């Protein structure tokens, strides 16, 4: 079920009413409603994959309970490894099986051996990368004795399958989310109102910004061989806004929807395109995944401790794994590697933590230096998105080669045809202005003008939203 679909517009109010109708009976009933709703929400795509979620839930619940009863170090480790193997095994099979088989075949063919590839027609279950990482965080935290294992199976089931964030995050930590399902939730009008504002802002980002940019980005990327440099630059910029609007829009809707049920989720985006360097960008983009890798991979590897060489190695590992997490394609690995390369100079100069605050605090405009820093970070990020968006690494290189050929024949070639492009550029500039104005807040509806802004944004959704071609959220494929 898509957040921007009619099905969800019917589904959400129904679950909302049911959830608060049973609130007097206690949190167990509320949780039960949420589990059923989450399974319906997920099963809407393909009910068969519900079995995977249920299986993962049972395994990690049992491992958690067993860990609480076990003090023997080796046995505890074995239990943890069971959970890791089951979760990563499922992820590996559904997401990476064909990738490894294809590459294995290619390598052997290169050396002259003929191997009959055994590729399978595997459908990737929606959101598997997200809920797998979420449940893993539970067993790892229980193993580390940071969290008491839960004995409440229903609460644990909601934690694994909570529908607002089930298919594309934010990837929650058990320590933060699970305790919220232990206690009865009372309806809080202000919390629900803030949730609704976030949903509206998220819908605007998705339906107006992302889906409109998608039309252009798709068109330009599919015809890149006949596009000039300016058009290719625009294509990359449109994709940068498409993926930002799409993913941060989804996160806002997820966080907003959760608040309607009295549940707080972690922030996933903090205006990343206003970052002054790549390190700051990664503190503001897909925060739940970055912090997951930081806590469960980077720190166990040694983090920033040890020699400079080890620091560099750890950073490279994190970025490469993060790229591979996104998809079974070399394009994502190169994308991760490229970001690691961007990060290197900051790490070597010890400047990776110099921008921890918001840019231009208590000022209306940034300084020239800040502006140039933001612009250069945005352009670097946009270049790396070319790999993320392309079908193959070769295609990405060809795209960039044409982009840097500085061929401006035909000027704004793509914009010359009678389409929405000029309006889209105006729209993006207005969007950036609104984001800049509200960069220290969660959404733009915070000051005296909030009702006026709300009306404008609703008008924008109604008149500029894309309804005829409803697009899946990009991160559903991961």
Instruction: List interacting residues with other proteins (CB under 8 A).
Output: 193, 196-197, 200, 418, 420, 423, 451, 454-455, 458-459, 462-469
Q: Which is nearer to other proteins, 50 or 464 (CB)?
A: 464
Task: Match 């630059």 to its residue by tokens.
Answer: 233
Q: Which is nearer to other proteins, 52 or 454 (CB)?
A: 454
- State the catalytic residue, choosing from 326, 355, 437, 443: 326
Tell me the C-alpha distance between 378 and 239, whole Å. 12
Q: Is 72 a catalytic residue?
A: no
- CB distance 70 to 76 below 8 Å: yes
Q: Which is nearer to other proteins, 345 or 422 (CB)?
A: 422
Secondary structure of 123-137 in HEC code, one letter for each residue? CCCCCHHHHHHHHHH
To the nearest whole angstrom, how small is the minimum distance from the Cβ of residue 167 to other proteins? 25
* Number of CB atoms found within 10 A of residue 57's CB: 20
To the nearest whole angstrom, how small is the minimum distance from the Cβ of residue 36 to other proteins? 25
To the nearest whole angstrom, how small is the minimum distance from the Cβ of residue 236 to other proteins? 24
- CB distance 198 to 373 below 8 Å: no
DSSP per-residue letters across 181-224: GTSPPPP-HHHHHHHHHHHHHHHIIIIIIIHHHHHHHHHHHHTG
Q: Which is nearer to other proteins, 320 or 424 (CB)?
A: 424
Q: Which is nearer to other proteins, 113 or 469 (CB)?
A: 469
397-434: burial string, b at 16+ Cβ within 10 Å, e else: eebbebbeeeeeeeeebbbeeeeebeebbebbeebeeb
Q: How far apart are the first and last CA of the chain?
A: 16
To the nearest whole angstrom, how small is the minimum distance from the Cβ of residue 184 to other proteins? 24
To the nearest whole angstrom, how small is the minimum distance from the Cβ of residue 203 to other proteins? 11
Catalytic residue numbers, as ranges? 326
């Amino acid at each position: 079920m898509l957040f921007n679909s009619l099905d969800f517009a019917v589904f959400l109010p129904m679950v909302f009413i049911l959830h608060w109708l049973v609130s007097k009976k206690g949190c167990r009933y509320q949780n039960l409603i949420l589990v059923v709703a989450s399974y319906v929400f997920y099963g809407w795509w393909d009910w068969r994959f519900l079995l995977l979620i249920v299986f993962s839930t049972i395994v990690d619940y049992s491992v958690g309970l067993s860990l609480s009863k076990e003090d023997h170090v080796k046995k505890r480790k074995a239990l943890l490894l069971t959970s890791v193997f089951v979760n990563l095994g499922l992820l590996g099979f559904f997401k990476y099986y064909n990738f490894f088989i294809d590459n294995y075949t290619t390598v052997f063919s290169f050396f002259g051996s003929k191997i009959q590839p055994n590729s399978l027609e595997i459908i990737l279950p929606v959101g598997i990368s997200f809920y797998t990482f979420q449940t893993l965080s539970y067993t790892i935290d229980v193993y580390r004795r940071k969290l008491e294992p839960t004995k409440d199976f229903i609460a644990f089931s909601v934690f694994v399958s909570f529908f607002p964030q089930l298919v594309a995050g934010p990837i929650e930590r058990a320590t933060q989310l699970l305790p919220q399902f232990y206690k009865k939730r009372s309806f809080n009008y202000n919390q629900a109102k803030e949730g609704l504002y976030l949903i509206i802002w998220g819908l605007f980002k998705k339906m107006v910004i992302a889906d409109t940019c998608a039309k252009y980005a798709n068109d330009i990327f599919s015809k890149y061989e006949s596009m000039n440099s300016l058009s290719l630059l625009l294509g990359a910029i449109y994709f940068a806004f498409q993926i930002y609007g799409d993913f941060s829009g989804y996160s806002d809707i997820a966080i907003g929807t959760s608040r309607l049920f009295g549940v707080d989720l972690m922030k996933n985006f903090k205006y990343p395109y206003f970052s002054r360097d790549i390190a700051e960008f990664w503190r503001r983009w897909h925060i739940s995944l970055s912090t997951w890798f930081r806590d469960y991979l980077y720190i166990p590897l040694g983090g920033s401790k040890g020699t400079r060489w080890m620091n560099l190695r750890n950073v490279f590992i994190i970025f490469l794994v993060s790229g591979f997490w996104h998809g079974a394609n070399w394009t994502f690995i190169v994308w991760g590697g490229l970001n690691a390369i961007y990060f290197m100079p900051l790490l070597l100069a010890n400047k990776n933590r110099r921008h921890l605050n918001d840019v231009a605090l208590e000022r209306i405009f940034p300084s020239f230096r800040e502006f140039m820093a933001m612009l250069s970070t945005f352009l670097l990020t946009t270049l790396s998105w070319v790999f993320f968006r392309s079908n193959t690494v070769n295609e990405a290189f060809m795209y960039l080669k044409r982009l840097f050929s500085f061929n401006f024949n035909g000027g704004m070639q793509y914009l010359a045809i009678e389409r929405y492009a000029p309006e889209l550029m105006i729209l993006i500039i207005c969007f950036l202005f609104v984001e800049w104005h509200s960069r220290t807040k969660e959404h733009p509806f915070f000051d005296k003008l909030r009702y006026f802004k709300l009306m404008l944004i609703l008008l924008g959704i109604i008149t500029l939203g894309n309804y005829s071609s409803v697009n899946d959220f990009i991160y559903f494929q991961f």
